[in-house]
Amino acid sequence: MASQTEIAQRVVEAILAQKLKPGERLGEQELGDHFGVSRTLVREALMQLQARGFVEVRSRKGWYVVEPSVEQARDAFAARRAVEIGMLRQSEGRPLQQAIKRLKAHVSDEKRAVDGADAATRAFVLADFHVCLAECLGHQLLADMLRDLTARTTLVSTLYQSTHDARESCADHGRIVAALEKGDLPRAEALMLAHIGSVEAALGESIADQVDARERLRSTLAPLAARSDR
């Protein structure tokens, strides 16, 4: 029987794999039947996910996967930049041989997933690179944080219809690992910044459309100027 933590983790993994979409309903009874647990346990797991920013409860409707706003989308990418660059900087002077070996194996898994795996596996393996990097550098707390941040940016990418290509992500990851293997941390940092930036930039047009639509609505609903007396 699954625990509430295991249920929450499975939901996050489904988000990373892009199997759960923004705005998708999460029925307590359906989840309880799937995991073989009570609705009470499911509700506790969903409340845990709500605290982590992945689901929301809508009055008289139930639980739903969140739909990040434009501001939340930008904030998620900014947080990833801060965490991942800081993590790389702290790795200076550490022996990285074992980390490099595991990261190379992960990139090889990515290549196989890009070439032949189903879309869900491909999405999950590519997203998991950043969690794997944190684990390899000895930052378990940051690994947990990055799992959540990566899942948030995955929701953003799904909602705003990212055009970023899986092969491009895999190639970016390979270049980051190569820089780490050479001990060139400044290059690894620069490559990570460029990678996160390119993923965010792939959302640019969709996010701009959302902002434009909001501004048009705001303008449309603005009060009309009072008529002057004649």
β-sheet bridge partners, residue 56: 64
Query: Which residue has 């982590």 as its token pair?
Result: 52
Task: Give the pair of three-digit tokens for residue 147.
Answer: 């799992």
pLDDT of residue 204: 67
pLDDT of residue 229: 54
What is the rounded average pLDDT of the residues 94-99?
87
Q: Phi-psi bin for 23: left (phi > 0), alpha (psi -120 to 50), beta?
A: left
Residue 198: how many other CB atoms lie within 10 Å: 14
If one looks up domain 70-207 in CATH, what number appears?
A: 1.20.120.530
- Are the C-beta atoms of residues 22 and 157 closer than 8 Å to each other? no
pLDDT of residue 106: 97
Architecture of the domain whose range is 4-65: Orthogonal Bundle (1.10)
- Angle subtended by helix axes 4-16 and 119-136, to nearest 10: 110
pLDDT of residue 160: 83
Report strand pairing: 25-26 vs 55-58: unpaired
Give the span between the Cα atoms of 172 and 167, in whole angstroms.
9
What is the rounded average pLDDT of the residues 146-156?
94
Contacts of 35 (CB under 8 A, 6+ apart): 1, 2, 6, 7, 10, 41, 42
Higher pLDDT residue, 163 or 192?
192
What is the rounded average pLDDT of the residues 160-181?
92
pLDDT at 226 over 70: no
The model's pLDDT over 103-128, given as tens digits with 9 standing for 90+, comes to 999 999 999 999 987 889 999 999 99
Report strand pairing: 25-26 vs 62-65: antiparallel
pLDDT of residue 230: 46
Domain ranges of the chain: 4-65, 70-207
pLDDT band of 135, cuts 50, 70, 90: very high
**Which secondary-structure segment (H or E) carries 176?**
helix 166-181
| % of the chain exceeding 90 in pLDDT | 72
Query: What predicted TM-score, i.e. pTM, was given to this entire model?
Result: 0.82
Query: Which residue has 């879309």 as its token pair?
Result: 119
The model's pLDDT over 14-68, given as tens digits with 9 standing for 90+, comes to 999 999 999 999 999 999 999 999 999 999 999 999 999 999 999 889 999 999 9
Give the span between the Cα atoms of 199 and 66, in whole angstroms.
20
The model's pLDDT over 188-214, given as tens digits with 9 standing for 90+, comes to 999 999 999 999 988 866 555 554 445
- Are the C-beta atoms of residues 32 and 21 closer than 8 Å to each other? no
